[in-house]
Structure 1
Amino acid sequence: MLKEFQDHLESRLSFLKNRRLLIAISGGIDSVVLTHLCYKYDLNIALAHCNFNLRGKDSDADEDFVLQLAEDLDLEVFIESFDTEGYAEEHKRSIQMAARELRYNWFTELSEQLKFDYVLTAHHTDDNLETFLINFTRGTGLEGLTGIPEVNDIFVRPLLPFSNEQIADYAKVNQIRWRDDSSNKSTKYLRNKLRHDVIPILKEINPSLLQSFQNTLSNLNDTSCIVDGAIESFRKETIDSVTNQDIKYKVEAFKKLKAPKAYLYEVFKEYGFTQWDDILNLLTAQPGKYVASLTHRLIKDRDVLILTSINNDEAVEESITVLDTNSTLKIPCGFLEFSEVDMVSHEHDEHCIYIDKGLLHSPLTIRQKKQGDAFSPLGMKGKKKKLSKFFKDEKFSLVDKENTWLFCSDDNIVWVIGKRADDRFKVTDKTKHILKIELIQ
Structure 2
Amino acid sequence: MLNRFLSFIKKHALNSEGNKWLLAVSGGMDSMVLLNLCHQADFDVSVAHCNFNLRGEESDADAQFVKDTCSRLKIPYFEKHFDTKSYASAHGISTQMAARDLRYAWFNELLKEQNLDQLAVAHHAQDNLETVLLNLARGTSISGLRGMLPKSENIIRPLLGFERDEIENFAKQEGIEWREDSSNASDNYKRNYLRHQIIPAFTELNAGFYATFQNTLEKNLEVERVFQEKINALKPYIEEVVDGYRFSKDQIIHSGIGAFQLSELLKPFGLNYEQSKELLVALGGISGKKFNTSSHQFLVDREYVFITAHQAKKFEPLLIEEGQGQFSLSQQTFEIKRLDGDSEVDRNPSNAFLDFNKLTFPLEVRAWEEGDYFFPLGMKGKKKLSDFMIDQKIPLNLKDQIRVLTSEENIVWVIGHRIDDRFKTNDQTKEVLSISRK
Question: TM-score by structure 2 length?
Answer: 0.69
Residue pair 1:38, 1:45 contacting (<8 A) in 2 also: yes
Q: 1:263 aligns with which of 261, 268, 272?
A: 261
Is 1:187–2:187 an aligned residue pair?
yes
What does 1:1-400 align with in structure 2 at a 5 Å threshold?
A: 1-13=1-13, 15-236=15-236, 238-239=237-238, 241-243=239-241, 245-274=243-272, 275-276=274-275, 277-312=277-312, 314=314
> Relative to structure 1, is the Cα distance of residues 149 and 255 closer, same or farther in structure 2, using a 3 angstrom cutoff?
same
Residue in structure 2 matched with residue 345 of structure 1 by the alignment: none
Find the aligned partners of 1:95 and 1:272 in 2 and give their Cα distance: 26
**Paired AA for residue 31 in structure 2:** S
Residue pair 1:299, 1:305 contacting (<8 A) in 2 also: yes
**Paired AA for residue 73 in structure 1:** L
Find the aligned partners of 1:164 and 1:134 in 2 and give their Cα distance: 18
SS of 2:116's partner is coil
Find the aligned partners of 1:102 and 1:14 in 2 and give their Cα distance: 25
Find the aligned partners of 2:268 and 2:171 in 1 and give their Cα distance: 40
Find the aligned partners of 2:30 and 2:13 in 1 and give their Cα distance: 19
Shift, 1:158, TM fit: 0.7
Deviations 1:88-122, CA, capped at 9 Å, x for gaps: 11122111111111111111111011110011011
Shift, 1:256, TM fit: 1.9
Shift, 1:290, TM fit: 2.5
> Relative to structure 1, is the Cα distance of residues 313 and 104 closer, same or farther in structure 2, using a 3 angstrom cutoff?
farther
Q: CA RMSD in A?
A: 2.5
Shift, 1:71, TM fit: 0.8
Shift, 1:14, TM fit: 5.3
SS of 1:45's partner is strand
Deviations 1:266-294, CA, capped at 9 Å, x for gaps: 21234443333333334235444322232
SS of 2:266's partner is helix
Find the aligned partners of 1:266 and 1:177 in 2 and give their Cα distance: 45
Residue in structure 2 matched with residue 380 of structure 1 by the alignment: none
Find the aligned partners of 1:152 and 1:212 in 2 and give their Cα distance: 23
Larger radius of gyration: 1
**Paired AA for residue 268 in structure 1:** L
Find the aligned partners of 1:307 and 1:183 in 2 and give their Cα distance: 47
Find the aligned partners of 1:297 and 1:80 in 2 and give their Cα distance: 41
Find the aligned partners of 1:24 and 1:179 in 2 and give their Cα distance: 15
> Relative to structure 1, is the Cα distance of residues 311 and 119 closer, same or farther in structure 2, using a 3 angstrom cutoff?
farther
Find the aligned partners of 1:119 and 1:310 in 2 and give their Cα distance: 34
Question: TM-score by structure 1 length?
Answer: 0.68
SS of 2:15's partner is helix
Shift, 1:312, TM fit: 4.5
Find the aligned partners of 1:163 and 1:84 in 2 and give their Cα distance: 30
Find the aligned partners of 2:6 and 2:292 in 1 and give their Cα distance: 47
Residue pair 1:24, 1:47 contacting (<8 A) in 2 also: yes
Deviations 1:394-419, CA, capped at 9 Å, x for gaps: xxxxxxxxxxxxxxxxxxxxxxxxxx
Which segments of 5 or more consecutive residues in structure 1 lack a partner in the other structure? 318-331, 336-441
Find the aligned partners of 2:223 and 2:41 in 1 and give their Cα distance: 34
Find the aligned partners of 1:28 and 1:91 in 2 and give their Cα distance: 28
SS of 2:19's partner is coil
**Paired AA for residue 125 in structure 2:** T
**Paired AA for residue 177 in structure 2:** R
Find the aligned partners of 1:50 and 1:76 in 2 and give their Cα distance: 15
